[in-house]
Amino acid sequence: MRRRAAEFRRPVRRRLSYWIWFLLSFSLILAFVLFIFQHYHHQDPLQYSLLERNARVDHFAKESLNFTEEILSVASFARQLAQQMILAKAYVVIAKEHNNLHLAWQLSSKIRSCQLLLSKAAMTGEPVTLEEAEPIIKSLTSLIFKAQDIHYDIATTIVTMKSHIRALEERANAATVQSAVFGQLAAEALPKSLNCLNVKLVSDWLKVPSLQELSEERKNSPRLTDNNLYHFCIFSDNVLATSVVVNSTVSNADHPKQLVFHIVTNGVNYGAMQAWFLSNDFKGATIEVQNIEEFHWLNASYSPTVKQLQNPDSQTFYFGLYQDVNAEPKMRNPKYLYLLNHLRFYIPEIYPQLEKVVFLDDDLVVQKDLTPLFSLDLHGNVNGAVETCLEAFHRYYKYLNFSNSIISSRFDPQACAWAFGMNVFDLVAWRKANVTARYHYWQEQNADGTIWKLGTLPPALLCFYGLTEPLDRRWHVLGLGYDLNIDNRLIESAAVIHFNGNMKPWLKVAIGRYKPLWDKYINQSLPHLRNCVLS
């Protein structure tokens, strides 16, 4: 029995010895931790943290400072200052709400100190040091605690900040609308320099009889109907813009004398346009100028477009004194009421003897020879155009109302849209497909404006549906009137660059990066240009 009892005690003693050894080891470790804690207990925890961060910053200060990386680094004082400053700004707003102007002033003062210190770091390229950051961080921390003590708690902060966010959103929306209105006004206004040019050209047209005689002689030129030549049509009331289109086209053509330009303008600018193109030579190219007011066949009884444009409600909407402030500014642009803008749908009627033409807008520049467009195989289609559906926005459903059963039953909402402004039109195929009649049909269907809102592209997407041949993207690059970030390589490779948008190259709001591409096709030696535009 005793032997068994002894054998039982041995493992118990062994277990106790193990526990005693474990407790002694744990006590030693705990004592060491307490020693370390007591050793640093007299130091401010913030100061200890700052010392640690300062050591890290000193390591990186030897290298050149990247301030963005510095402000994002968890080990930098710049980030801690920025975070404190953001929180302090929130409490400034709340303190003012509660009429505690003294606290708001104190916080604002420290915020300015933060900003100065961060600005200095950004300018000098040196990181913020412990000595610079510590007093500001401590004082800001104290003020933030003070704000919290007077019940500027998180709930109050959230409610207050939400109300301010809503107010800022409303102000931002109002500013966006206002900037859109101002941008639209700038785009619609004719600069004084161009008005001066028009006045001088009209004066020449009226005072120089030889110009009118020359115009009469050229009206019956056989070149105007010769299908062996290359025919371009431009519909515009802007003399200088049209001149740039013509000049850039002939300047980059291999055989400019084989080019024929058909220009249509309005009655006001007809004299100026005639005087300009009769007085200047464009490398032997043939140029015809017509007055839209002489197209007597284009009337309200034939064209639903003319009928709608003459509608008093449309006139009031675009030109009335009391316009709807809720209407999108772009929709109030009078160009959509301008018959010249819709004339592109009547090209076969205007030029009944032509078989193929290239349509050009007046806000583009030609950079390469365009005559190869005439030899492209359109595979029986009417319209050759560059597709614009590389981005999701340029799909049919973005331009047309697919809740309308007529639209949804006939068209694919995901169909790819294309660009108007540089288009090859096979007029033989156009007449065969009777595209103009299609246009009239859709204009009548949209008399109440429920299928599309504005412009000529939506009805064109309907009229040329299934009749458009995609062209290589390099033929027509768009966006120079609104997009600041077009790749230079894309611009250089483009045959045509299009300044579509409000920032036209002849306006003061033009994008400076692209304006020289347009300016170089203006003949600066001409007297009227020197007197009006260039001065």
pLDDT tens for each residue of 444-484: 999 888 999 878 999 999 999 999 999 999 999 999 999 99
Model pLDDT, residue 178 = 63
More confident residue, 86 or 283: 283
Lowest mean pLDDT segment, chosen from 2-16, 77-91, 255-269: 2-16
Model pLDDT, residue 468 = 97
Residues 123-141: what's their mean pLDDT? Answer: 83
Residues 36-41: what's their mean pLDDT? Answer: 41
Structure tokens at 26: 């744990």
Contact at 8 Å (CB) between 107 and 88?
Answer: yes
Q: Is the pLDDT of residue 422 over 90?
A: yes
Lowest mean pLDDT segment, chosen from 43-47, 53-57, 432-436: 43-47
Q: pLDDT tens across 322-365, in order?
A: 444 444 444 344 444 578 999 999 999 999 999 999 999 999 99
Residues 13-29: what's their mean pLDDT? Answer: 47
Q: pLDDT-derived band of residue 315, with 50, 70 and 90 as boundaries?
A: low
How far apart are alpha carbons 175 and 55 in whole angstroms? Answer: 47
What is the pTM assigned to this prediction?
Answer: 0.66
For the chain, the domains span 67-152, 192-321+329-534
**SS (HEC) of 419-452:** CCCEEEEEHHHHHHHCHHHHHHHHHHHCCCCCCC
Model pLDDT, residue 45 = 40
| Rounded alpha-carbon distances, angstroms, from residue 451 to 235, 308, 410, 434 | 26, 15, 13, 21
DSSP-derived letter for residue 261 is E
Long-range Cβ contacts of 214-222 (<8 Å, 24+ apart): 214/278, 215/274, 215/278, 215/289, 218/286, 218/288, 219/288, 221/286, 221/288
Contact at 8 Å (CB) between 513 and 503?
Answer: no
When the pLDDT of each residue in the chain is averaged and rounded to a whole number, the result is: 81
What CATH class does 192-321+329-534 carry? alpha beta
Structure tokens at 365: 């520049």
Q: Is the pLDDT of residue 533 over 60?
A: yes
Query: Which residue, among 474, 282, 497, has the nearest Cα to 372 in the 3D structure?
Result: 474
In three-state secondary structure terms, 502 is coil
| Rounded alpha-carbon distances, angstroms, from residue 257 to 284, 285, 353 | 5, 5, 20
Model pLDDT, residue 309 = 79
